[in-house]
Structure 1
Amino acid sequence: MEGKHVRLEPLSLDHAEELFEVTRDPAIWTWLLSGQPRDVGDMRSWIAEALEQREAFAQIEVASGRVVGTTSFYEVVPAHRRLVIGFTIVGSEWQGTAINPEAKLLLLSEAFDVRGTLRVAWYTDAQNVRSQRAIEKLGAVRDGVLRAHMTRPDGTQRDTVVYSMVASEWPAARERLTSRVSRDPSR
């Protein structure tokens, strides 16, 4: 999947070194349910685990060819034509650019237009307001909160906010996202 700013390719162990370098900022890992990799070996382990659990993609900046983050499809249930988008990390330098919105445009296009998905969901920590606003900007609707849904790395319980977009909402969301990505510079 490729757009003007970002290319999504299957995540592999070959991405470990670059991904480790661009995700060294501890703030990137604040809301994730896994600890920050301490070295490239830890990043390889993180990638290996990701590949066992989900359909993970490396986010590659088109202009430079650099790995700038990851994102994934998971909880894919073909019988019910639904999936979840998440496990997204983006290097600090690329946050607030067109990279992640375009990555979501590519993923949503794949989900709705290619796979015939009827419902796409996102989960985020109830304390992660920045993520909630970003998901809302995609055109997703807040479904509710799952209380004490997951355990954070520090052992505290996390409430999870659930968002979704259904197939009938996709055409309007696609139009808004396409317009947003076309006017946003990648940097």
Structure 2
Amino acid sequence: MRPSQWYEAQDMFGDHVTLTQLRPHHAEGVLAASGDDDVFAWMSFDRPTTLTEAEAVVARYLAMPDTNAWAQVDTKSGELAGITTFYEINPERRSLIIGGTWLGERFQRTGINTESKLMLLTHAFDTLGAVRVAWETDERNEQSQAAIERLGATREGLLRKHKPRKDGSWRNTVIYSVTDDEWSQVRDGLRSALDR
């Protein structure tokens, strides 16, 4: 596996969602999908309310170092449902973090998140040869923690005062992961969840 392949955001296709490399033209879809302030409560930026702000959100994702960003596109409607990323990509350690993820409220609990994570994990473990995939979330974000736990990830611990929140306070970050040893069991669980 060439290290450069870790930095290529390949398009992925599922029954519920298509993951396509995030590009500037996705800004209009970002604006349309981001109608609920609650979706952005835990993000490091506010909900975009204008096309200019949505363009800035996309530019922010695209400027992140060691990151692949995907637009999550609802297969049924063709609408942009949200964004997700691989970040802190480290081919030498064969690890990465899935995060920076948000879904518009009407796309939540539709199978999009589960299938998106199944495709991302399949790409990480089966294509890239990752040994560890992690998630980070705010200790106060119980919805995110529950979603990560439903994926089958293991809660590893807490990083205290890990990152500043957008309001200037310091967040404690909960760390989760799946390792290559656990991947087949996690994959089977995600497939089963999608079949329900």
TM-score, normalised with respect to structure 2: 0.91
Paired with 1:158 and 1:31, the residues of 2 have a C-alpha distance of: 10
Deviates more, 1:42-51 or 1:31-40: 31-40
After superposing on structure 2, the runs of 4+ consecutive aligned residues of structure 1 that deviate more than 2 Å are none
Percent identity of equivalent pairs: 43
Partner of 2:55: 44
Per-residue deviation at 1:96? 1.3
Query: How many residue pairs get matched?
Result: 183
Confirm or deny: 8 A CA contact 2:90 2:96 kept in the other structure. Answer: yes
Query: What SS does structure 1 have at the residue aligned with 2:92?
Result: helix
Q: Does 1:35 align with 2:52?
A: no
**Any unmatched runs of 5+ in structure 2?**
1-11
Partner of 1:15: 26
Confirm or deny: 8 A CA contact 2:132 2:179 kept in the other structure. Answer: yes
TM-score, normalised with respect to structure 1: 0.96
Partner of 2:183: 170
Deviations 1:134-159 (A, max 9, x none): 10111100110000111111111100
Query: What SS does structure 1 have at the residue aligned with 2:99?
Result: strand
Paired with 2:30 and 2:45, the residues of 1 have a C-alpha distance of: 15
Paired with 1:41 and 1:158, the residues of 2 have a C-alpha distance of: 28
Partner of 1:139: 152
Paired with 1:70 and 1:27, the residues of 2 have a C-alpha distance of: 15
Paired with 1:64 and 1:34, the residues of 2 have a C-alpha distance of: 27
Paired with 2:34 and 2:49, the residues of 1 have a C-alpha distance of: 11
Q: Which amino acid aligns with 1:161?
A: V
- In the TM superposition, 1:1-187 aligns within 5 A as 1-53=12-64, 54-183=67-196
**Any unmatched runs of 5+ in structure 1?**
none
Paired with 2:121 and 2:19, the residues of 1 have a C-alpha distance of: 12
Paired with 1:36 and 1:5, the residues of 2 have a C-alpha distance of: 24
RMSD: 0.8
